[in-house]
Structure 1
Amino acid sequence: MMYKYILVIYLLLVSLIGSAQTKNTILLPVKLTDQEIGVIIKEIKNTDAKYDTAVHLVRSVQGKHYHSDVKEETKVHGTLPSLNYALALLDSQKPEYRERAFELLRAVISLQDQNPSSKTCGVWPYTLEEPLATKKTPADRNWADFCAVPIISIINNHNNILPADLKEKTRNALLLASQAIRKRDVRPDYTNISLMGLYVCYMIADMYNDIDLMVYARKRLKTFYDCTLLNKGFLEYNSPTYFKLSLDEVLRLKEHVINKEDHAMLDSIYSIGWSIVARHYHQPTAQWSGPHGRCYSVLLAPATYNWFYTSSNGQIHPETSGDYSKDRNPILNHQIPANLIPYFTASQLPRMEVDTFIRGGQTIELNPLVSYQEGDKGVMIKTKEIIGKSYLTKDFVLSSANQSCLWDQRRPLIAYWGSEQKPISMQIRFLHDMYDYSSANIFCSQDSTNVLGAINFTTNGGDKHVTIDVIKDATINATDLRLRFEFSGDISSVKIGKPESNEQSVSGISGNVAFRINLPYAKFDGLEGKWVIGGDEKSKWIDFVIYSGNEIEFNFGEIQEAVLGFLFSLKAGSISEAPVEVSKSGENLILKWNGLSVNALTKPYKEMVTLVLK
């Protein structure tokens, strides 16, 4: 009897151990065709001249960035570009490139913060010139995620040729990166990093048999999946910049994950992501209609057209003014679901797309390692409901979000018209000393061709960034404050008229499209604003200038009223000039027009500083 009891326990233990050792991923080296290797070699040749043999890193030029002390245009040596170069050298399968790749790997790994007592242990700096230990601006913790991705690809595809010392160095670097990522624990509201960190942790857990890390990674996947289903998309909604990055990470996981339950979740996330992209593609202009949760440029870049072309096997091939590569990414072979292709190639117009991008009332815990605000630790918030509308026609597309902010990465009110070869865009901005002011909030109500809106201000928000540079004591110094309606693209076709006699409206035309801006209410600390029409070689604009002159102080805590109400209309044909109904109820401005209505606080107010709410 005792023997049987011991045998049962033994078999149970064997079963548990076997279960624990079951792999959730499969590490299969990517098999590249000669054509794909040719694409990689072309990339290598473009980078060769930037390689610095003295430090074994790739040279680059510093761009504008919130997280860097280094001035723009400074020559630096980048960590991520160096890792991507090392990966390309090895992917070329040319033995003569191996030693350079190994030198690059050793150099970049040596720059990782590997001090276990450091708050940024596991994170890489952007560049050799800006070590984390001496930085003044906050370290970009995303670099643990970004730099780990190419190292994982190197291990997956080339581990058999790595020298013994590099096998150990890469293992240690990846484990430290995964620890930093897990400690930070980015949630689905920071979509692209949530997915990238998920990929890194999931892969490293199986690569190095870290069972506890795998439990964490699978839980993180389930959390992201549930959030995606609830919101019918990503919380970093409709982002031309970050949707590709997010779907890249989902695709990487799909190619490696063999756990059936997890793979099914990844398939669903992938399809939902592509559905958002497809439904917001405006075929007549070949642009990605708004509103955009995060975006770095207004018009699509050639790389996006390459992504569409290769992901559709050449079915999506807009005739844009500039050339774009038809080369397929040798590693990331995206495929747009077949049922979505007609949105790109045979779009049904006109139509209105309405999305609840973020469902209201969700409980989210703020993360100080994302917001860089220590006071966020343990703080729980309820999400606001973010609704996006996009009216797509053969002549134009007009899009808006019901509420957002005017951070430079948001596009809460944006329009496109023109053609594939000559697209034109219009976006709304609020500028503090000619830079987008993150503490300006916008509220919109749209029918089809009209957006009624209001802009007001928070006292404790960010200046250039929503959370990184929060203004102190509700006060900013400024030489210039203005509301801008900015036109980009084929601006030669944009003809702007003079402000109308009542000084409330400005109209214009562009091809067969007419636009009109009406400003029925504008109050800002007693200042008298004025319209200014301007432009340069890249853009034209219609500005409502609130202040321009010597630097003065604006204390939003003391300002009694700061609110702007507007009506933007865009139409192929004549535009209604019916007046906007303006009223006030207590500290609320109420605008009504043709069935649309907007309500906004007139006095600057305090609000939780977080990207999710704004």
Structure 2
Amino acid sequence: MKGRITMNNLLDEQALLRWRLEQLENQFSPVHSMIREKYTTNGYHTALHNVEQVHSIRSSIEYAQGLLDTGLTDAEDRAFAVIRQIVSLQDHDPASVTYGIWSYYLEEPLSSMRPPDWNWADFIGKVLLTTVIRHKHRMPAELLDRVRESVFHACESIIRRNMGPHYTNIAIMGSFVTLLAGEVFQNPRYLDYGLQKFEAFHQYASRTRTFQEYNSPTYTKVAIIELSRIRSATRIGRALEICEDMLNLAWEGVARHFHASTGQWAGPHSRCYSTLLPDAARAFLQLALEGELDFCAPADMFYDLEWYNLGIFCPESYRALFREAAEREVREVYYRSEDGYEKTAVTYMTTRYALGSASKEVMWNQRRNLLAYVDGPGGTVYAALRMLHDGYDFSAPVFSAEQRKGNVLCGLQLSLNGGDTHIGLDRIDGGIQAEDLRLRLEIGGSLDGVTANAVDGGAVVSIGGVKLSLRGLYTRFAGGATSLVQNPEWEIVHSCDTLCLDLVLYSGERRRIDFTALDEAAVVFTLSVREDEGRDSSPDSFFVTMSAAGNGEEVTASWSTEDGELALNLRLKPDMVEALRGQD
């Protein structure tokens, strides 16, 4: 498998596959027949403590498939040993609540997770099934039988859970596992369920012509991978029709949101793990565009084993958008309830910056509800809104926005039962224990030449010839014996490698903050991003007229800009997250 990546083989998938496997060679543990890697956590599901290295179930099964994908016979024994190990780690007991799924790591059984991740029936099941589709003729009969049974257990888990079509990547993955299990192993029950599930997903996405996991750099990429996986494997005509339609929808969304000047995937993002586009996403786009855009030099190339031989490519009709640096706006409804309630997303791009906002979302750390990218003097600069509870993103507050071009009118409310670190796994009960609670506009990336100056009620950040101006309009936290600052003001804070505009709501001894005791709890502010273009660049020149006033029940804000009228109306008293969000 020895080799290296050069300009000549940068798009050669077999060369990339063997190169990636060579990188993993030192991580293979012969004792456990698994891949050993650095332990990381997103703060939920896994509850491991004080662990540096773990044996990953997902990485290991992808490694086994990759070994077989090389076609090398001397890799078979190792691949089969890994597959046997992974199959043995699945919960095979139909009476168990975790039936059909796996834990994340060998070191952490399902019973220790908080909670287990039922998505692993989909994530691991799809790799086992893809391995069977490609290599069943090479597998020993007894191993093929064990893998078939393992895939069936995963199918049963998926059917029991019956996740709806709104969960984009899991809807597609679950469709693949059940549909192809039925097709490959001639099981009519799984085939019928899988096709119905795929059809339901297609109908759901077709209502708005967007995914509910809207504009997600992480999960749009996953959707493209999994749709390509189905397209490469099935012979069912209707499934192939759905694949083509949904792949076109996905690629159109990626292309329309790509900001050529910064090389970033413009916001807002419904789910995202890295504010700046990670190397894996850049490499994925480079491969899908067949080298038309040069994101990665050979030394910086990344290759994911699961991409291999799926036929991933961007349609020709969308490729020009990846190079286009002209002004454009994307305004879409990405959620519509049965009773007509809608959520919208707006993205505005110029040659120098991109600014995006979501009309109403919780402040989960996977959300990028308010996000700007600027082509700065030293490279790409980002500005992203966060709500921090003791330094970690606080999911419970609800963000609202109205946007016209480079101007956004923003609001924030407190919910009584939203998530703490996660939107649903650790919901709060009317309040929190905290040492610190703050709203933050975080500015990061290449900060050379970036400066910030305080102005009355906010701050102006200068990024080369682009001005980013934040102005507070209304901030009120009052009622009961609250320890929150009643009328906090925005301040400039330097934190590690970022420049932050913070609104500190509480900082002090750890104590309970009771949201139910608050009669008023809301923040309204504006964000304006624009190029100087020789015009007056003083802070006040960014604004035409604006106002915000509360009457004890609600706060009404309006902003008359040169690009249009903006307005928000928010209730002041904290409420259930479902009521504030307008979505069950």
Structure 1 residue 34, shift from structure 2 partner: 12
Structure 1 match to 2:26: 49
Q: Does 1:301 align with 2:278?
A: yes
**Partner residue of 1:437 out of 394, 403, 409:** 394
Give the aligned partner of residue 479 of structure 1. Answer: 435
Q: Counterparts of 2:11 and 2:105 in 1: how far apart (Å)?
A: 33
How far 1:535 moved relative to its partner?
2.5
1:402 Cα offset (Å): 1.1
Question: Do the aligned partners of residues 320 and 590 (structure 1) sit closer, same or farther apart at CA in structure 2, a change above 3 Å counting?
Answer: farther
Deviations 1:521-559 (A, max 9, x none): 111236242433222443211111111110111111111
In the alignment, structure 1 residue 605 sits paired with structure 2 residue 561: no
1:307-350 per-residue CA deviation (whole Å, 9 max, x = no partner) reads: 22221222122489994459995322212121111111234x21
Q: Which amino acid aligns with 2:144?
A: K
Q: Residue 529 of structure 1 is aligned with which of 476, 488, 509?
A: 488
Q: Structure 1 residue aligned with 2:550, among 584, 587, 598?
A: 584
Q: Report the equivalent of 2:467.
A: 514
Give the whole-Å Cα distance in 2 for the aligned partners of 1:510 and 1:214: 55
- Report what 2:256 is aligned to: 279
Give the 3 Å change call, closer, same or farther, for CA 238–72 of structure 1 in structure 2.
farther
Distance 1:125 1:572 in 2: 50
Partner of 1:63: 40
Give the distance between the partners of 1:446 and 1:319, measured in 2 at CA: 34
Correspondences of 1:109-124 after superposition (within 5 Å):
109-124=87-102
Counterpart position of 2:243: 266
Instruction: Give the 3-state SS of the residue equivalent to 1:580 in structure 2.
Output: strand
1:192-591 to 2 correspondences below 5 Å = 192-318=169-295, 323-325=300-302, 329-347=307-325, 349-359=326-336, 361-362=337-338, 384-418=341-375, 422-472=379-429, 474-497=430-453, 499-500=454-455, 502=456, 504-525=457-478, 527=485, 528-573=487-532, 574=537, 575-578=541-544, 580-585=546-551, 587-591=553-557
Q: What CA distance in whole angstroms lies between the structure 2 residues aligned with 1:171 and 1:468?
A: 32
Distance 1:64 1:327 in 2: 20
Q: Identify the match of residue 161 of structure 2 among 179, 184, 198.
A: 184
Residue aligning to 1:377? none
Letter in structure 2 aligned against 1:251: S
Name the CA distance, whole Å, in 2 between partners of 1:249 and 1:34. Answer: 20
Give the partner amino acid of 1:538.
D
CA apart distance, 1:71: 2.6
Contact 2:402 2:568 in 1 (8 A): yes
Deviates more, 1:160-169 or 1:413-422: 413-422
For 2:63, the aligned partner's letter is Y
Scaled by the length of structure 1, what TM-score is found? Answer: 0.87
Secondary structure of the residue aligned to 1:215 is: helix
Classify 1:415/1:510 alpha carbon distance in 2 versus 1 (closer, same or farther; 3 Å). same
Cα distance in 2 for residues equivalent to 1:240 and 1:63: 20
Q: Using the aligned pairs only, state the percent identity.
A: 29
Q: CA RMSD, aligned part only?
A: 2.4
Higher Rg: 1
Once residues 324 and 406 of structure 2 are traced to their aligned partners in structure 1, the CA distance between those partners, rounded to angstroms, is 22
Q: Which residue of 2 is the match for residue 372 of structure 1?
A: none
The residue number in structure 2 matching 1:96 is: 74
Q: What CA distance in whole angstroms lies between the structure 1 residues aligned with 2:373 and 2:426?
A: 32
Is the CA contact 1:205–1:211 (under 8 Å) kept in the aligned structure 2?
yes
C-alpha separation between the residues in 2 aligned to 1:467 and 1:299?
Answer: 26
Q: Deviations over 1:496-542 (max 9, x none)?
A: 11x33x4x121120111011111111112362424332224432111
Maintained 8 Å contact 2:518/2:573: yes
d(CA) in 1 for partners of 2:313, 2:184? 27
Cα distance in 2 for residues equivalent to 1:76 and 1:36: 28
Change (3 A) 1:210 1:487: same
**Structure 2 counterpart of 1:5:** none
Amino acid of the structure 1 residue aligned with 2:570: A
1:25-40 alignment, distance < 5 Å: 35-40=12-17
In the aligned structure 2, how far is the partner of 1:109 from the partner of 1:334? 28
Whether the 8 Å CA contact 1:305–1:317 is kept in 2: the answer is no
Give the SS at the match of 1:491.
Answer: coil
**Structure 1: where are the runs of 5+ without partners?**
1-32, 363-381
How far apart are the structure 1 equivalents of 2:34 and 2:274?
Answer: 29
Which AA in structure 2 matches 1:589? Answer: V
Q: Is the 8 A contact 2:396 2:416 kept in 1?
A: yes
Amino acid at match of 2:317: N
Q: Are the equivalent residues in 2 in contact too, given 1:315–1:345 (CA < 8 A)?
A: no
Cα displacement string for residues 44-94 of structure 1 (whole angstroms, at most 9, x for unaligned residues): 211111111112111122212310111375321111111011111111222
Counterparts of 1:567 and 1:417 in 2: how far apart (Å)? 18
The whole-number CA distance in structure 1 between the counterparts of 2:549 and 2:581 is 31
CA deviation vs aligned residue, 1:204-257 (integer Å, no higher than 9, x gap): 011111111111111111111111111111111100010011111111111122
Q: Residue type of the partner of 2:521?
A: A
Compared CA separation, residues 563 and 285, structure 1 to 2 (3 A): same
The residue identity in structure 1 corresponding to 2:365 is D
* Aligned residue type for 2:465: N
Whether the 8 Å CA contact 2:362–2:395 is kept in 1: the answer is yes
> Any idea what SS the aligned residue of 1:235 has?
coil
Residue 117 to residue 464, structure 1, CA distance change in 2 (3 Å): same
Matched letter for residue 400 of structure 1? S
Give 1:611 deviation, angstroms: 9.8
Code of the aligned partner of 1:485: L
Which residue of structure 1 aligns with residue 4 of structure 2? none
In 2: Cα distance, 1:445 partner to 1:311 partner? 34
Q: Distance in 2 between matches of 1:612 and 1:191?
A: 20
Paired amino acid for 2:569: N
Q: Is the 8 A contact 1:61 1:72 kept in 2?
A: no
Residue 419 of structure 1: how far off its partner (Å): 6.1
Q: 1:178-209: per-residue Cα shift (whole Å, max 9, x none)?
A: 11011111112110111111111111011111
Cα shift readout 1:161-188 (whole Å, capped 9, x = no counterpart) = 2122211110110000011011111112
Identify unmatched segments of 5+ residues in structure 2.
Answer: 1-9, 479-483
Correspondence for 1:24: none
Q: Is the 8 A contact 2:232 2:311 kept in 1?
A: no
CA distance in 1, matches of 2:59, 2:255: 31
- Cα deviation code 1:445-498 (max 9, x no counterpart): 1111111111001101110111000113x121100011101011111232011x
Greater Cα shift, 338-347 or 239-248: 338-347
Q: Distance in 2 between matches of 1:186 and 1:53?
A: 37
Question: Which 10-residue stretch deviates more, 530-539 or 154-163?
Answer: 530-539
Q: Secondary structure of 2:291's partner?
A: coil
Task: Tell me which residue corresponds to 2:481.
Answer: none
Tell me how many residue pairs correspond in the alignment. Answer: 557
The TM-score normalised by the length of structure 2 is 0.91
CA distance in 2, matches of 1:419, 1:155: 49
Say if 1:52 and 1:322 are closer, same or farther in 2 by CA, change over 3 A: closer
Indicate if the aligned counterparts of 2:234 and 2:240 stay in contact, CA closer than 8 A: yes
| Counterpart amino acid of residue 59 in structure 2 | P
2:120 to 115, 122, 143: 143
